[in-house]
Structures are given as structure tokens and as C-alpha cells.
Structure 1
Amino acid sequence: MTILSKAALAAALLIGTTGVILPATADAQKKKDEKAPKAPALSAEFRKAALEAQTQLKAKNVTAAEPAVIASEAAAKSEDEIYYARLFRLQLESDRLEQAAKGDAAVYRRLEIALIKPLDDLIADAKTDPKDRSRFTYRRGLIEYGQKRYAAAVTFFEKARELGEADPELPLSLTKAKIESGDIVGGAAGMKVAIDAELAAGRKPIESWYDYIIPRLAKADKFDEYLVWSQAKLKQYPTAKNWRTLIVYFGFSGKRVDLLDKGQKIDLFRLMRANNALADLADFAQYAQYLNSIGLPVEAKAVFDEGVKSGKMQLTREDDKGIYAASVAAIKLDGPISARETKAKAAATGVAAAAAGDSYLGESNYAKAVELYKIALEKGVTPVKVEEINTRLGIAYALMRDDANARAAFAKVKSSPRNQIAAFWIVWLDLGATTPTA
């Protein structure tokens, strides 16, 4: 059973916990304050039934309140009386719903259609205060959303916004309704308007606004928009956890698991590492396994060593110990990178120079990596390799904190998904290439 929180239950009370308060009689009001506005004229017949309704509603006595509300509805003749009778009806149905649900959100959603007529009546009532009308309109939208009538919910939410409803959850509610109705782009655009308004007012947008949009853009394969939203979220919430989540959505979940190759995933893992965002054994082990499998044992060993030192993993699994031992053995067998560098510089093509550049990048010798990547590009490699080298040239410059050259290298990466990986690294540069600690 999904339990409604106390906050949710409080929000369910549309009129308020003290019930509807009738105005004093005109004579009483005059004695209290000669300058006060004239009170609504209520007949003695209506006032008698209404006072009983008010008393029972205030006491949360639904059983006793119902006949009194019915009596007030029957006695209501003037516009003011009809308005108050409608308020009583809404309070009664709200209280009845709360009691029937007993804190169960599913039951509440199933039964809340009972609020539709009293809400519609008050929304249409000329006596309804503008603030209440916007609030009731928003509530109608929430009911439509709960009934999965998303297009109708959008209409109510947009009307509530037009009426000036200021509930902080309205932008997210409208976005959800648009997206659930199939309008992902429209939902995202609407949320951006709300975020821009918060920023313009000097306030920090609510994190859940970003969190609703971003995974849905990923699921819809709208990764150009995804990167824009990721950058926007990270500007406000630049934590290591958020970096990891956004990178995982981008390259390690859904269709992207099969779309990206090992080399591309390694460059995303490198971005996670730069942001202190490798979270646990699974992250470190997968990263090291990829590295070892493509001939980068120095970086593989360094990743394992870093994971153990950070306390985020222990080198206890047999598979991991095997990869670690293989990396150590390969480092001894390969010998110093400088020997391979000499051969690479004498080679006819840039393939060997690119490999040496990868090795230097893996041991954090970024200056040498840049040198070898440039040689590789000069000697010539395949178009696909050019995209990879420019990505890694940008990474080497970025990790050297050479912002201008990093951006220039990333700008040369044109094909998908490498251009999107480069864009993710540019986000890091835009944020100042800082390393989050939490």
C-alpha cells in the first residue's frame, strides 16, 4: 500500500482544516467595525443550516455534516448562499475522501473523482476568489492526471497558470502531463520556461524538475537535447553523483549499451574518473576490464589502485584479481612507452603513434599524449580513427587544463556518438573543469 504523507493529506484539504467560516451578520459586522465592507446577505433559513454544517465540518464529523450540508444547499437562494453551500460541499467531499483513503494514495486517486463536480461548480462561480479559482483549477488538473486523462490535465494546468497559480509543483505537473500525452519536446520546453523564470528571479530551480525531463529525453533518444539539459542541471547541481547518473543514462543504459563501443565507453569512464564519479566495484572493474582488453594495462592497473585506495572497492573477486595480474604482466611485457614512441615516429602511418598516445594518456602523461596524437593525425589514420584521436586529444588537453586547445580539438569531432561524448567533456570545461567531491 502506498501511504499518503501528512503533507499530501494536508494538500488534499481543499478548504482548510478549520472548515468554511461564515461571515458575521450585517449588524454584528457593523458593530465590530463601521468601516468594514458590507457582509454578504444570508437569510436566517440558510444561516441556520450553514452554521450547523460549519460546526460539523470543523469537527471533521462527516456523518453529521452531510445532512447539514444538504440542508444548506436546499436553503441557498442568493448568489452568496449558493457560493457558501458549494464551499461546504467541497469540504465535505474532501473530508469524506480523506477518511475513506486512510492514507492509501491508490485509494485516494481512485475515489477523488467525487471532487470533480464541486470543484467545477466553484471554478465557474463568479463569487469564487481568484486565488481559490486558480487553486481549484490546478486541483482539477491533478485529478485528470490521476485518471490518466493527460490532455485534459494539460488544459487545466495551463489555465491554472494563466490564472496565476503559484504552486511550486505546477511546472512539473504540466510537464508530466505533456510528456505523458506524448509531447516530450513540448513538456521539456515548458519546463525550461519555468526554470528560466526561477533563474531570472534569482532562485535555484528545483532539482526534481531536471530529474523528470532528463531520463525521458534519454529514453526517447533525443541526446542533443539531453546534453543541453545535463549541462543545465550540472550548473546548478554539480555533484559527483549527478555526473555519474547523467553519464550512465547517456552511455550505459537502454539502447546505448549496444550503440557505444569499448573505446567510446572508456572515454566516458574517463570523464567519470575526472569527476570523482566512479561509485563502486562495478564501475572500477568494468572500466579496468575494457582498458585491459584493448591494450591499456597501465591505465587499467591505475584504475584498480585508485578504487582500492578510495575505499570504493576491494580487490577480492577472482575475476578482478585476474585482470589486475594480467595488467601487471602486460606492463612488464610491453616495456616503457618511450621505446614504442620511437618506432611510432618512424612508422609510415599514424596507427602506432595513436596507440602510444593512448598509453601516455593512460599513465597521465598528457603532454606526451598530445604530442603523439598530433603525430598520428599528421601521418594519417582512417576517418573513424581521426574522430577517436581528436576526442582523446581534447581529453588530454582538458586534463592538462588547457581549455582553449581542448575545445578546439573537441570541435573537430563531428560524427555521432563521439561528437556527443566530446560535448559532454565540453560541459565539464564549461563548469570550470572542477572535480566534485560528493
Structure 2
Amino acid sequence: MTTFHRSSSRAALRTLSSLAVAVAAAMCFGTAAHAQDALRPEVAKPLAAAQELLRNGDATKAMEQLRLAENQEGRTDYESYILARLKAPAAMALNDNDAALKAFNAALTSPKLDLKDRPSLLETAVAVAYRAKNYAEAERLARVYLAEGGQAESVRVVLVFVLNARGESAAMLKELDVLIKADQAAGRKVAELRWQLQGSAQNKLGDAAGYRATLEQLVQDYPKPAYWQDLVARVQGAPGFASRLGLDVLRLMRHLNLLTEADEYADLAQLAQLSGQPIEAKAVLDEGYERKLLGEGKNAAQHQQLRQKINKQAADDRAALGSAKNDAAKAKDGGVPVAVGQLLISAGDTAGGLELMAQGLQRGVAKNPDDARLRYGVALLQAGQRDKALPVLQALAAKDGTADLARLWLLAVR
């Protein structure tokens, strides 16, 4: 899973960076509230010129004027504060992030700082520290901002990026959780990158259950093949997953259009054939040939032999559907009508097949009854009968993989 996209942080940084310039442009040097806060003319003149140059987007000349002010001896605290407030955005505009950060810290620690301006300065300083790759300082400033009650989401976003860049996965997850829960509480769709970052951190920390839960969120909100591939592989590879469910895994992958190899189509067809479903197997092979995955290359002859064999069996089963239904009606074990019901569905008789499968489950299946329940629930889903499928699939609770596959099917067919 993607661990971090630097480009995804640019919007947050642009938002934060613009604050400093806006604040600088809004400043004016009129009559000071207190006499001790007056600017001397020799300082006020270059500062005012710098302010006007910043408004007009000329940071280079603005910085020249700021140096004139900086070179004046005997600067008061107020003069140093105003100088820092203007030097910060000028340095940012010149991509001198170290100088900008130094100026922001000077303003933030100045005794002349108006407390109402402190949140916006902290907010921007966080972004500057991050751009300067001074991650320790970015984290410090972000935590100060948040501890003082700052509410801007963008600061926590940068904190998440910082912690991720430093490899502090556990700390990053805590901050990310705040963002995700805020999105959910507001009814907003959680950004894909947030799920990606969460999953990546969980993976690094060895939290298999958490990572899988995050994958489930991703396939719901952003159902990309890569996420589904990862999720299915995680489920199939989990401890206790029964190998006999390989056919059911491949069926799910086919539904999700995840079969991309000739061997996958051939395996699915052969497993369906061996389970007594040659009509399904024929449909699988036909699809593989249509996609030009089968019948090509060095195994073309083998594929053709398999196709001929399965085509004959499928034709024989279609001709014998009537007798198969009679056999199912007489069978004591419900597994027979369940299998014949699947055969009917593959042959196009969905209603009749579902009815026969339901009868089989009522009669009782001796061997692997949860497999039969899973297949009946999936058949209901694929028939568009989700309301009926839900109680069947949600009732599965065994740790052999049937319950896991049931959950994936419910995510896949919505």
C-alpha cells in the first residue's frame, strides 16, 4: 500500500503559506497604541516600503528594504517584532524556509505579539518548518498550536505527514484517527490518502486485523483492483483458512474481475468441474478464451483439451437436468439439492436453483454445511436478493474462512 505521496501535502502547505503573506499585507504602520511601540522614522520607512513591495509580489526588493531596517542600531522590541512579521513572508516567497522559520519563531516569542495573531502565525510556521524538512520543529510547533486550542485541520494534516516522514507510525496513527473520525462525524467521505496512510502504518506495526479493516474501508470507498487483490490475499492467507475454499476464492475474484492469468481461469474451471459444476466451468473457460488468456501460447493445446472435456460434460449435464432434479428430491443429505441448485443457476434457471438450494439447507447438509450456506448466500446476492442474502451470510461465524468470504461478498455486491 502507498505509504506517502508528497504531492498530497502541497495543498495544505499552500493554504498555510498564504497566511503569512496575507497577514503581512494587511499590516499597517499608523499611530501606535502605546508610545513605546512607535516605529522610529529610519525603521518605519524601509518597513513600509517592504510591506508595499510584498503586496505587489516583489519579495526580492522587499528583502532589501528589510535588511536596511535590520541594520538600524538600537532596535526596540516592537521594531524587531514588525521586522520579523515582514521578514517571514518575504523569506517564504524567496523559498528561504530556514530564514522564514527563524523569523516566525522571533515573532512568536516576541513580547509584542498580539495573542489574537498567535494561532495564524503558529499555523503558518508549522508549514514552513515542514517545507524546511525541520520535522522536529514542525512537530513541536504543531503540538503547541493544538495544545493551545487551534482548530485548523491543516495543522494536524501536516503533523501526520511529519510523523509519517519520521517513521513514527504509532504516533501518526493517533493523529490520523482524529482526522478520520472528524470526517466520519461530519458525514464526509474519508480521503483515500488517509486510509492509505493508516493502512501503511498498521502494516508496519504488524496490526494485521487493523490493516485488513482499513482495506475493507478502501474497497468500499475506492474499489480499486489493487485494494481488492490485497484484501482477498490477506483473507486467504489468514491462519485457519481452509484450502477447500479455493474454488470460492476464485469465484469471488472472477466476480471482481481480478482474474488476469491463464492459470487462474484454468484452475477455476477445473475446480468447478471437480465440484460437479461443469456448466459453470464451461462459462469460465469461454470467458478466458474471449479475453484471449486461454488458447494462446505454449499451453494452448492443453487449454483446448480441457475445453473439449468440459464442453462435453456441460452438454451431458444440461441434457440430464431433469433426472438431476429428481435425484435431488430423493436425496437424504441436503448437499445434493444444494449442488443441483447451483447447477440449475449455471444453466439459467435462477429461481429454480435458489429454491432447490434452500430446500437442501432445510434438509441439512452433513459435510461442511457452512460452505453450502455461503454458496446459497452468494447465489442470492448475485440474483439481486440482498435482503434475503444478508441473514444467511451474516450468520456465518466459523473461523475456517467461510465467514470471511461472506463478508467480502457483502462488500463486493452492494
One of 39, 42, 46 as aligned partner of 1:42: 39
Does the CA contact (< 8 Å) of 2:60 and 2:94 recur in 1? no
Residue in 2 that maps onto 1:71: 70
**What percent identity do the matched residue pairs reach?**
14
Q: Which amino acid aligns with 1:401?
A: G
Q: 1: CA distance between counterparts of 2:394 and 2:9? A: 52
SS of 1:380's equivalent in the other structure is coil
Q: 1:319 deviation in Å?
A: 3.7
Distance 2:27 2:210 in 1: 58
| Greater relative CO (CA pairs within 8 A, separation 6+) | 2
**Shift of residue 286, structure 1, vs aligned partner:** 1.8
Question: Using a 3 Å threshold, how does the CA distance of structure 1 residues 251 and 156 change in structure 2: closer, same or farther?
Answer: farther
Aligned length: 389
Displacement of 1:362:
4.6
| Alpha-carbon distance, 1:54 to partner | 4.8
C-alpha distance after superposition, 1:272-291 (max 9, x if no partner): 555xx416733x75255234
Aligned to 1:336: 317
Which residue in 2 is equivalent to 1:371? 356
Are the equivalent residues in 1 in contact too, given 2:63–2:90 (CA < 8 A)? no
Asked whether 1:174 is paired with 2:160, we answer yes
SS of the aligned residue for 2:296 comes to coil
2:197 maps to a residue whose letter is Y
Deviation track 1:323-342 (CA, whole Å, cap 9, x = no partner) reads 46414412413631635555
Residue 388 (str. 1) matches residue 374 (str. 2): no
Pick closer, same or farther for the CA change 1:173–1:358 going to 2, 3 Å. farther
Match of 2:264 in 1: 286
2:397 pairs with one of 411, 414, 437: 414
Contact preservation (8 Å) 1:291, 1:300:
yes
Shift of 1:394: 0.6
> Post-superposition shift, 1:413?
0.9
Question: Structure 2 length as normaliser, TM-score?
Answer: 0.70
* Distance in 2 separating the partners of 1:273 and 1:132: 53
Judged with a 3 Å threshold, the aligned counterparts in structure 2 of structure 1 residues 409 and 196 are, in CA distance, closer, same or farther, namely same
Per the TM alignment, residue 244 of structure 1 is displaced from its structure 2 partner at its CA by: 3.2
Q: Distance in 1 between matches of 2:327 and 2:242?
A: 28
- SS state of the match for residue 181, structure 2? helix
**Native 8 Å contact 1:20 1:87 kept in 2:** yes
- The 2-side partners of 1:146 and 1:370 are apart by 67
Which residues of structure 2 form unaligned runs of 5+?
none
Seen in structure 2, the aligned counterparts of structure 1 residues 195 and 184 have a Cα distance that, compared at 3 Å, is same
Q: 1:289-330: per-residue Cα shift (whole Å, max 9, x none)?
A: 234235244324323434665x69675344477346414412
1:65 deviates by: 3.4
Matches within 5 A, 1:29-428: 41-51=38-48, 53-54=50-51, 58-61=57-60, 65=64, 68=67, 71=70, 76-79=75-78, 81-97=79-95, 116-125=101-110, 126-127=113-114, 129-130=117-118, 132-136=120-124, 138-139=126-127, 142=130, 147=135, 155=143, 158-159=146-147, 162-167=149-154, 170-171=156-157, 174=160, 177=163, 180-182=168-170, 186=174, 189-199=177-187, 204-214=189-199, 220=206, 222-223=208-209, 226-227=212-213, 230=216, 234=220, 242=223, 244-252=225-233, 256=237, 264=245, 266-271=247-252, 273-274=254-255, 277-278=256-257, 281-282=260-261, 286-294=264-272, 295=274, 296-306=277-287, 316-319=296-299, 322-323=302-303, 325-333=305-313, 335-336=316-317, 338=321, 339-340=323-324, 342-343=326-327, 346=330, 349-360=333-344, 362-363=346-347, 365-367=349-351, 368-369=353-354, 371-372=356-357, 374-375=359-360, 378-382=363-367, 385-416=368-399, 417-428=401-412
Other-structure match for 1:26 = 30
Q: 1:291·1:299 contact (CA, 8 Å) conserved in 2?
A: yes
For normalisation by structure 1, the TM-score amounts to: 0.67
Q: 1:380 to 1:121 in 2, by over 3 A?
A: same
Distance 2:8 2:203 in 1: 31
Change (3 A) 1:393 1:279: closer
Native 8 Å contact 2:338 2:358 kept in 1: yes
Work out whether residues 214 and 230 of structure 1, in 8 Å CA contact, stay in contact via their aligned partners in 2. no
AA partner of residue 191 (structure 1): L
Aligned mates of 1:292, 1:356 — CA distance in 2: 18
Higher mean displacement: 366-375 or 212-221: 212-221
Separation (CA, whole Å) in 2 of partners of 1:50 and 1:415: 74
Secondary structure of 1:281's aligned partner: coil
Taking a change above 3 Å as real, the CA distance of residues 316 and 347 of structure 1, as seen in their structure-2 partners, is same
Q: Distance in 2 between matches of 1:85 and 1:322?
A: 81
Letter in 1 for 2:60: N
Q: Is the 8 A contact 1:357 1:372 kept in 2?
A: yes
Gaps of 5+ in 1: 30-37, 99-111, 434-438
Rounded to whole Å, the distance in 1 between the matches of 2:178 and 2:369 is 39
After superposition, give the CA deviation of every residue in 1:203-237 in whole Å (9 maximum; x if it has no partner): 55434333433565577554478457735863x55
Q: 2:84·2:107 contact (CA, 8 Å) conserved in 1?
A: yes
Give 1:68 deviation, angstroms. 0.3
For the aligned residue pairs, the C-alpha RMSD in angstroms reads 4.8
3-state DSSP of counterpart to 1:422: helix
1:420 alignment partner AA: D
Whether the 8 Å contact between 1:353 and 1:372 is mirrored in structure 2 is: yes
- Once residues 93 and 254 of structure 1 are traced to their aligned partners in structure 2, the CA distance between those partners, rounded to angstroms, is 52
- Using the TM superposition, give the Cα deviation of residue 409 of structure 1 relative to its aligned residue in structure 2, in angstroms: 1.0
Residues 120 and 300 (structure 1), Cα distance of their counterparts in 2 relative to 1, 3 Å cut: farther
